[in-house]
C-alpha cells in the first residue's frame, strides 16, 4: 500500500512538474539585465525574473520595461528621486523586451485575466494606438488625473491619445539625427556643415564622393527593415494612413520618390544593407560606414565605442526634393508610460509620474547622459541640455536634438500601423533584393493592408 501511495505521489509531481514547465516556457523572458536592472529587480515567483501583477506592498510599484541602459535606468532614477520625499517608495522593475510586453498584454486580455499586469508598463509610441483601440480595458484613463499634458509636445501626446482620452505619459523622444564620421568626411573634402540642411539629391551626390574617396558607404540599413523609409515619410509629414483611417500607400506622393532614393543609393554603393540588428550596430561601430540616420537613441550605441570619440558629428537628415511639406526633421521610436487598469494604487502611480516624468527637471538633467531626451517642455530649457558633448566634437548635441524634435511633422499611426509598416518592408525588400517592379509592389502593399483591415 505504501508503495502505491509513493508511486501516485511521484506520478502526480511529475505531471504537475510537466505542466509547470509548459507554462514557464511560454512566459520566460530574456533577462540579460545589466547592473542597473538587477539592483532593484526582484525575482517574481517561478516565472524567471518577471514580476507579474500589482504589488501587495502599498509603497511599491511594479514596472515592465526594456533596455537596462535607458528605460530601466530612467525608471530607477525616477524612483530614487521620488523616494527622497516619499521614504520607503520603490519600484520593482522587470526587464521585458517591448514586443514581449505586447505579447503578454495580448495574452492577458485574451485570457480575460488582467491580474497578471504590472502597475506600470512602457509602450512604443507606434504600438500605442493599436492597443488603445483593441484593448482599452488594460489602460487607466489619465485625462483628469492631474498630469498637465499641455507641457508635452503635442505630436508626442497624440500617440497615446484616443478619442480625446489620454492613456499614456510621454517619455522619450525619437527625433531623427544624422550622425557622420567627421574624419571620413574630411578625406572627401567635406565638413559636417556640407551635410546640414541639405536635400536628398545633394546628399546622394556627396555620398558618392565619400564612397569614392574613402571606399565607405555613408549609410547602413537592416535589409527588409523599413525604418529609413518611414523616417523619410514622416519628414515630409506623410503617413501610410489618411485622416479617415484609410490606407495611403498607393496614392502616397512621397513613398515612390523615397523608394527610388533608397534603390539608387543601394545601386551607387552608398547605402549598405546588412542582415540583422547586430550587424547594423556593428557596421556603425567598426567603421564599415561613414554615417547613420536613425532616432536619437542610436547615440547610445554610437558612444559605446570609446575609440571613436571626437570622430562623430550630429546634424539633421536630408529632406526630399520635390515633395510639399518636406522638412529635415523626423521621428523614429520613442515610447510612453501607461498605468494599467490592474493598478490598485492609481493615486500613488499618478503622483509618482507627475513628480518625475511630468515634473522634475532634476530627473531629466540626469537621464540626458543616457541620451534619453525629454518631450517635457520645461526640461529643454535646463542647462544640462546646453552642455557640450566631447564624443561629438564638443557640440551641444542635446539642445540640437530638442530643436529638431520641435520641428518634426506629426504623422498618423492608427491600429494598423504595423500591418502597413510590414507591408512597406516587404515591398522594399522585394524591390531591392529581388529586383521586383516598384509600382506593382506598392500596389501589393496597399492591397495587403486593405486585406488585413477587411478582417
Partner 1 sequence: MSDQKKKGLSLAKKHNLTGWAFLLPATLLICWMSFYPMIRAFILSLQTGMGVNLNFSGFSNYTRILKDPTFKQTLFNTFFYLIIQVPIMLVLALMFASMLNNKDLKFKGLFRTCIFLPCATSLVSYAMIFRSLFANDGFVNMVLRSFGLSPIMWFGNAWTARAVIIIALVWRWTGYNMVFYLSGLQNIEYSVYEAAKIDGASPMQTFFKITVPLLKPTILLTTITSTNGTLQLFDESLNLTNGGPGKSTMTMSHYIYNTSFVQSPNFGYAAAMSILILIMVAILAILQMKVGDER
Residue 430: CB minimum distance to partner 1, A: 5
Choose which of 275, 309, 369, 440 interacts with partner 1 (CB under 8 A).
275
Is residue 418 at the binding interface for partner 1, with CB under 8 A as the rule? yes
Residue 123: CB minimum distance to partner 1, A: 15
- Other residues' Cβ atoms within 10 Å of the Cβ of residue 197: 11
Among the listed residues 318, 320, 275, 312, the one whose alpha carbon sits nearest the alpha carbon of residue 291:
312
Q: Give the span between the Cα atoms of 220 and 341, in whole angstroms.
A: 41
Query: Judged by CB, which is closer to partner 1: 191, or 433?
Result: 433
Q: Give the span between the Cα atoms of 129 and 375, in whole angstroms.
A: 19
Residue 141 is given by DSSP the state P
Q: Give the span between the Cα atoms of 72 and 120, in whole angstroms.
A: 12
Using CB under 8 A, which of the segments 187-195, 213-221, 368-376, 415-423 binds partner 1?
415-423
Query: Judged by CB, which is closer to partner 1: 391, or 417?
Result: 417
CB 291 within 8 A of CB 217: no
Classified as helix, coil or strand, 48 is coil
Is residue 455 at the binding interface for partner 1, with CB under 8 A as the rule? yes
Choose which of 58, 137, 260, 437 interacts with partner 1 (CB under 8 A).
137
Query: Judged by CB, which is closer to partner 1: 190, or 418?
Result: 418
Q: What track of x and - describes contact with partner 1 for positions 185 through 224 (by CB under 8 A)?
A: --------------------------------------xx
Is residue 134 at the binding interface for partner 1, with CB under 8 A as the rule? yes
Choose which of 36, 47, 119, 419 interacts with partner 1 (CB under 8 A).
419
Tell me the residue ranges of DSSP E strands in 240-397.
271-274, 291-295, 312-315, 335-339
Q: Give the span between the Cα atoms of 40 and 92, in whole angstroms.
A: 6
- What does 230-252 look like in DSSP terms, one character per residue? HHHHHHTT--SB-TTS-B-STT-
CB 240 within 8 A of CB 417: yes
Residue 107: CB minimum distance to partner 1, A: 9
Strand ranges across the sheet with 120-124: 90-95, 60-65, 120-124, 335-339, 169-170
Q: Give the span between the Cα atoms of 280 and 288, in whole angstroms.
A: 10
- Measure Cα distances from 344 to 47, 144, 146, 280, 433 in Å: 22, 17, 18, 42, 51
Q: Give the span between the Cα atoms of 51 and 118, in whole angstroms.
A: 7
Q: What track of x and - describes contact with partner 1 for positions 77 through 106 (by CB under 8 A)?
A: ----------------------x--xx--x
Ramachandran angles phi, psi of 63, nearest 5°:
-135, 140
Report the site for partner 1 in 422-451 (rule: CB under 8 A): 422, 426-427, 429-430, 433-434, 444, 447-448, 451
Is residue 276 at the binding interface for partner 1, with CB under 8 A as the rule? yes
Query: Judged by CB, which is closer to partner 1: 23, or 394?
Result: 23
Residue 432: CB minimum distance to partner 1, A: 8
Residue with cell 502526480: 12
Is residue 130 at the binding interface for partner 1, with CB under 8 A as the rule? yes
Using CB under 8 A, which of the segments 77-85, 134-142, 200-208, 374-382 binds partner 1?
134-142
Query: Judged by CB, which is closer to partner 1: 88, or 455?
Result: 455
Q: Which spans of this chain sit near partner 1 (rule: CB under 8 A)? A: 15, 99, 102-103, 106, 109-110, 130, 133-135, 137, 223-224, 273-276, 279, 415-416, 418-419, 422, 426-427, 429-430, 433-434, 444, 447-448, 451-455
Amino acid at each position: 500500500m505504501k508503495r502505491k501511495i509513493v508511486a501516485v505521489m511521484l506520478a502526480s509531481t511529475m505531471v504537475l512538474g510537466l505542466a509547470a514547465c509548459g507554462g514557464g516556457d511560454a512566459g520566460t523572458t530574456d533577462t540579460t539585465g545589466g547592473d542597473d536592472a538587477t539592483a532593484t529587480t526582484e525575482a517574481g515567483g517561478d516565472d524567471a525574473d518577471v514580476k507579474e501583477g500589482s504589488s501587495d506592498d502599498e509603497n511599491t510599484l511594479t514596472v515592465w520595461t526594456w533596455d537596462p541602459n535607458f528605460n530601466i535606468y530612467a525608471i530607477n532614477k525616477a524612483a530614487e528621486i521620488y523616494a527622497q520625499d516619499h521614504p520607503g517608495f520603490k519600484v520593482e522593475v522587470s526587464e521585458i523586451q517591448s514586443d514581449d510586453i505586447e505579447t503578454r498584454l495580448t495574452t492577458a486580455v485574451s485570457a480575460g485575466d488582467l491580474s497578471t499586469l504590472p502597475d506600470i508598463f512602457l509602450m512604443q509610441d507606434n504600438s500605442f494606438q493599436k492597443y488603445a483601440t483593441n484593448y482599452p480595458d488594460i489602460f487607466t484613463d489619465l485625462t483628469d488625473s492631474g498630469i498637465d499634458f499641455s507641457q508635452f509636445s503635442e505630436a508626442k501626446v497624440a500617440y497615446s491619445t484616443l478619442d480625446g482620452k489620454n492613456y499614456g505619459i510621454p517619455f522619450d523622444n525619437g527625433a531623427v539625427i544624422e550622425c557622420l564620421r567627421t574624419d571620413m568626411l574630411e578625406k572627401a573634402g567635406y565638413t559636417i556643415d556640407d551635410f546640414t540642411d541639405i536635400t536628398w539629391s545633394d546628399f546622394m551626390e556627396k555620398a558618392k564622393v565619400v564612397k569614392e574617396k574613402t571606399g565607405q558607404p555613408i549609410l547602413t540599413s537592416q535589409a527588409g527593415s523599413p525604418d529609413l523609409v518611414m523616417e523619410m515619410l514622416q519628414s515630409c509629414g506623410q503617413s501610410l494612413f489618411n485622416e479617415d483611417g484609410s490606407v495611403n500607400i498607393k496614392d502616397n506622393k512621397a513613398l515612390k520618390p523615397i523608394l527610388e532614393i533608397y534603390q539608387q543609393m543601394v545601386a551607387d554603393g552608398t547605402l549598405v544593407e546588412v542582415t540583422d540588428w547586430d550587424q547594423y550596430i556593428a557596421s556603425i561601430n567598426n567603421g564599415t560606414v561613414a554615417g547613420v540616420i536613425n532616432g536619437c537613441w542610436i547615440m547610445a550605441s554610437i558612444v559605446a565605442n570609446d575609440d571613436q570619440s571626437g570622430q562623430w558629428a550630429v546634424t539633421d537628415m536630408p529632406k526630399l526634393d520635390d515633395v510639399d511639406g518636406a522638412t529635415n526633421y523626423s521621428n523614429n521610436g520613442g515610447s510612453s508610460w501607461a498605468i494599467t487598469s490592474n493598478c490598485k494604487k492609481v493615486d500613488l502611480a499618478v503622483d509618482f509620474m507627475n513628480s518625475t516624468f511630468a515634473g522634475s527637471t532634476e530627473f531629466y538633467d540626469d537621464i540626458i547622459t543616457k541620451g534619453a531626451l525629454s518631450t517635457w517642455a520645461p526640461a529643454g530649457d535646463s542647462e544640462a541640455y546646453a552642455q557640450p558633448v566631447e564624443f561629438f566634437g564638443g557640440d551641444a548635441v542635446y539642445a540640437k536634438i530638442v530643436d529638431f524634435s520641435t520641428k518634426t511633422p506629426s504623422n498618423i499611426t492608427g491600429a494598423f500601423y504595423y500591418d502597413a509598416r510590414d507591408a512597406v518592408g516587404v515591398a522594399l525588400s522585394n524591390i531591392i533584393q529581388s529586383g521586383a517592379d516598384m509600382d506593382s509592389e506598392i500596389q501589393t502593399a496597399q492591397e495587403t493592408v486593405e486585406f488585413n483591415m477587411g478582417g
